Every structure is written in structure tokens, then in C-alpha cells.
Amino acid sequence: MENILSKTCGKIILIGEHSVVYGEPAIAIPFKSTELNVSIQKSKYNIIDCSFFYGKLEESSEDLRGIRFIIEKFLNEYNIKENIKIKIKSSIPNERGMGSSAAASVGVVKALFKYFKINYTTSNIKYWANISEKIVHGNPSGIDINVVLNEKPVFFEKNEDIQIFPINMDGYLVIADTGKKGRTKDAVTDVRKLIDKDDKYKEIIRKMGELTRISKDYIINNDIESLGNVFNKFQSYLEQINVSDEKINKLIKIARENNALGAKLTGGGRGGCIIALASNIGQAKIIANKLRELAASVWISNLKSENL
């Protein structure tokens, strides 16, 4: 029988991607329709078993370089000689801005602590998961790890204490996957170049931060229509900093044509997923069905904390 030692889930950034890298806030929610389980058992060699790789840890693929690094470092740090097989089972699509790498890092580290019966705290998990995220993403804001670890909606500002932020809106979120891998690291690097080149982009980032702060009020006041307008405005800024793409724009257009209150990309962009807001489940289903004609996968989630 499989010994599942940790369960984590994906995440969705509602608003604030990219500007969060420059100290502006972001709001993100856990995405429990997707999950990632890690099990560990004794083995002859150190083995990784996941959907895109099965084999010796030392021969694992490039996609797993962050995870491999922290497993090797962990075993070394705790002077562990036993060999293990780590199985990662995940329904979080890879590299779609849904936090799959953060979920895997958090999940694997938690499972290692448990398997080897080593006491740990949340900050221990954060420490190890951050090492892996830095290898994969360069210099991430840290939002992914925080949402995945807390499994609660958060209002996040880099270098500040995380604020758990309950969401209780009468409305639905439709999430659609372009089917294309997102290129967060490239997108973040290119945005940095724009900002260094021209002050007008600094101003855009500042305005994105303002929109995120306003969104917080709209969420607290259950004002989904205003939140939808803000999503649209935020998307136009994401387009101006050049992180949207043709498929994202097409899915957003479909959502808006089918009465979404607002729609935007989520995560790093250039591939990945979009999110659209709907006022009721009927509307959400209409939007979702239309998106299914073009998207790789579509989900509907309600915007109540107890379900998020």
C-alpha cells in the first residue's frame, strides 16, 4: 500500500502577478480541484517516480532539477544513508502558473521530514521549498509557496508577513488552460528589462499595485462586478508589459463575449491559464463550455473560502 505522507494543492493568482515582484501586493487562492500527493518507501537506489520521469534521482530530468537538489541536500544535511523511492502523483498541470513546482517542493520536503521522523516547522518547509523554487524560477516573489503551504487565500507582499485573507464572494471563477507551458522565468526577466529601460513601465507596475489594493476592498465588500472591471484593466496592463499572448487573448475574448464580468491571465503568462469571473453558476457553465472548445482544460470554482 502506498504511504502518502503529504498532500498539497495548486494555486491561482487572482491579481497582482508580475507587479508583486516589485513589492506591490498580490492576492492568491489555493486551487483544491488539483492536488499533489507524495509517498516515500525504502528502495535499493534513490528513485523519483512522477508522471514525466521514472528512474534514479541522479539521472532525473531537467524539469526536476530543483526537487533533485533539495532531496540530495536534505539527505546530506541529516546524514541519511537509507535509499528511498519518492513518488509524486499530481493533477496540477505542469508549468501553467498553477504552482505545480511549489506544490511539489512543499510536498516532497514535508514527506521527507515525516518519513524520517524529523520534527519540523512551517518555516523549515518554507526554507527548503524556497531553495528549489529559486533554482526553477530565478528570484520568485514567494507567493506560490505561501499559498500552497497555508492552503488559504492570501494577501501577499514580498518581505511582509503573509495575511490570510478569507474570501466570501457570491460568484464563480472559471479557469481555462491554454495547453501551452507558461514561461514565467523568461517573462519576469523581460519585464525587468522593460522597467530598466523606460520609466513608463515603472508607472504601469505602480498602477497594477493600486488595482490589487482596490480589489482587496471589492472582495471584502462582495462587489464582484467591480472586481471584474479591475480584472479587465489589470489584463490590459499585463498586455502592455508584454506577458500575454495570442491564445491567452483568444480565451479572454471568448470569456468576455459570454458575459464574464472580467477576465485576465493568471501567473507568469506567455502560455499558462486564464481566469474569468461569473456572477452565477449558470453563467459560469456557459463560459466554461465555450472555453472548452479551445482550451486544454477548464475548471469552475466558487469564491467562498470554505471551498477554496
Binding site for ligand PMV (CB under 6 A): 17-18, 20-21, 97, 99, 137, 140-141, 143-144, 182, 184, 188, 267-268
Task: Please identify, using beta-carbon distances, which residue of 57 and 145 lies nearer to ligand PMV.
Answer: 145
Task: Please identify, using beta-carbon distances, which residue of 46 and 141 lies nearer to ligand PMV.
Answer: 141
Least separation, in Å, of the C-beta of 55 and ligand PMV? 26
Q: Which residues pair with 90 in a beta bridge?
A: 36
Task: Please identify, using beta-carbon distances, which residue of 47 and 129 lies nearer to ligand PMV.
Answer: 129
Q: Which of 299, 10, 12 is nearest to 172 (CA)?
A: 299
- Identify the burial level of 267 via C-beta atoms within 10 angstroms of its C-beta, where 0-12 means exposed, 13-18 middle and 19 or more buried: buried
Q: Which residues pair with 174 in a beta bridge?
A: 276, 300
Least separation, in Å, of the C-beta of 95 and ligand PMV? 8
Least separation, in Å, of the C-beta of 179 and ligand PMV? 15
Least separation, in Å, of the C-beta of 221 and ligand PMV? 25
d(CA 251, CA 287): 10
Task: Please give the sequence-ordered ranges of beta strands (E in DSSP) within the chain, or none if there are none.
Answer: 4-15, 26-42, 47-50, 53-56, 84-90, 154-156, 163-164, 168-177, 262-266, 273-278, 297-304
Least separation, in Å, of the C-beta of 268 and ligand PMV? 3
Residue 308 contacts residue 300 (beta carbons within 8 Å): no
Least separation, in Å, of the C-beta of 84 and ligand PMV? 28
Task: Please identify, using beta-carbon distances, which residue of 75 and 88 lies nearer to ligand PMV.
Answer: 88
The set of long-range contacts for 69-75, using a CB threshold of 8 Å and a minimum separation of 24, is 69/131, 69/132, 69/135, 70/105, 70/108, 70/109, 70/128, 70/129, 70/131, 70/132, 71/46, 71/108, 71/112, 73/128, 73/131, 74/109, 74/112, 74/128, 75/46
Give every CB contact of residue 287 below 8 A, 6+ residues apart in sequence: 174, 254, 255, 258, 259, 260, 276, 278
Give, as one character, the DSSP assignment of residue 220: H
Least separation, in Å, of the C-beta of 13 and ligand PMV? 6
Task: Please identify, using beta-carbon distances, which residue of 40 and 276 lies nearer to ligand PMV.
Answer: 276
Residue type, 116: F
Task: Please identify, using beta-carbon distances, which residue of 171 and 267 lies nearer to ligand PMV.
Answer: 267
Least separation, in Å, of the C-beta of 299 and ligand PMV? 15
C-alpha grid cell, residue 139: 528570484
Task: Please identify, using beta-carbon distances, which residue of 18 and 87 lies nearer to ligand PMV.
Answer: 18
Task: Please identify, using beta-carbon distances, which residue of 20 and 108 lies nearer to ligand PMV.
Answer: 20
